[in-house]
């Protein structure tokens, strides 16, 4: 009878992956856009300190830097983390990672652009002879908005 070797660290990797998925969704809610640079995790030794501090703030037992490095390496190997571009040290959680953890990946829907008002009208500034107010009028308007006096083309400014 041969003993099957179990990967006891797999649960550990999944906990780190779960944290990264929750972080991804939280940042999506906060920023309301899918900016990959903002959502990415930099896997450099400088940023491990920040990531390690964040992970340890949610855990009872603290995680060591070597364990985090090993976990991130294993997550990359299992393709749960994918680079945002070639030869990049910035990674985002893949859809397979979200699926295995059981967390739904949040996505922002593309919104329609707001329609701006029609700018085809040409406005010209006129000074009213009666009340001395200066305001912009279209070519169809010929009376002052304030006092109702007639506007003359000679009064253009």
Cβ-based neighbour number of residue 43 at 10 Å: 20
CB distance 84 to 43 below 8 Å: no
CB distance 84 to 90 below 8 Å: yes
Residue with tokens 């340890």: 56
Predicted model pTM: 0.55
Locate 41 and state its tokens: 């995790």
Candidates 3.40.630.10, 3.30.390.10, 1.10.10.10, 1.20.272.10; correct CATH number of 10-101?
1.10.10.10
> What whole-number distance in Å separates Cα of residue 136 and Cα of residue 127?
9
Of residues 111, 109, 113, the one with CA closest to residue 28: 109
Q: How does pLDDT run along the chain (157 residues), one tens digit per residue? A: 455 444 456 667 777 888 888 888 888 777 766 667 777 777 666 666 777 777 777 667 777 777 777 888 888 888 888 888 777 778 888 888 888 888 888 776 656 666 766 666 688 899 999 999 999 998 888 999 999 999 998 999 8
Helices (H), ranges, 58-134: 65-77, 95-101
- Rounded to 10 degrees, the C-alpha dihedral 8/10/16/20 comes to -170
Q: Give the list of residues 6+ apart from residue 65 with CB closer than 8 angstroms, or none.
A: 48, 49, 52
CB distance 20 to 41 below 8 Å: yes
pLDDT of amino acid 5:
46
pLDDT of amino acid 126:
93
pLDDT of amino acid 151:
93
pLDDT of amino acid 119:
64
Helices and strands, number each (H, E), in the chain? 5, 5
């Amino acid at each position: 009878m041969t003993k099957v070797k179990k990967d006891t660290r797999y649960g550990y990797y999944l906990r780190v992956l779960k944290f990264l998925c929750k972080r991804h969704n939280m940042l999506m809610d906060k920023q309301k856009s899918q900016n990959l640079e903002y959502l990415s995790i930099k896997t450099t030794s400088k940023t491990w300190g920040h990531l390690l501090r964040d992970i340890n703030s949610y855990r009872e037992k603290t995680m060591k830097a070597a364990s985090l490095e090993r976990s991130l390496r294993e997550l990359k190997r299992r393709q749960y983390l994918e680079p945002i571009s070639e030869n990049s040290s910035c990674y985002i959680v893949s859809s397979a990672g979200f699926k295995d953890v059981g967390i739904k990946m949040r996505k922002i829907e593309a919104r329609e652009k707001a329609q701006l008002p029609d700018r085809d009208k040409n406005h010209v500034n006129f000074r009213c002879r009666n009340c001395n107010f200066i305001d912009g009028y279209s070519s169809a308007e010929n009376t002052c908005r304030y006092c109702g006096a007639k506007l003359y083309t000679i009064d253009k400014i």
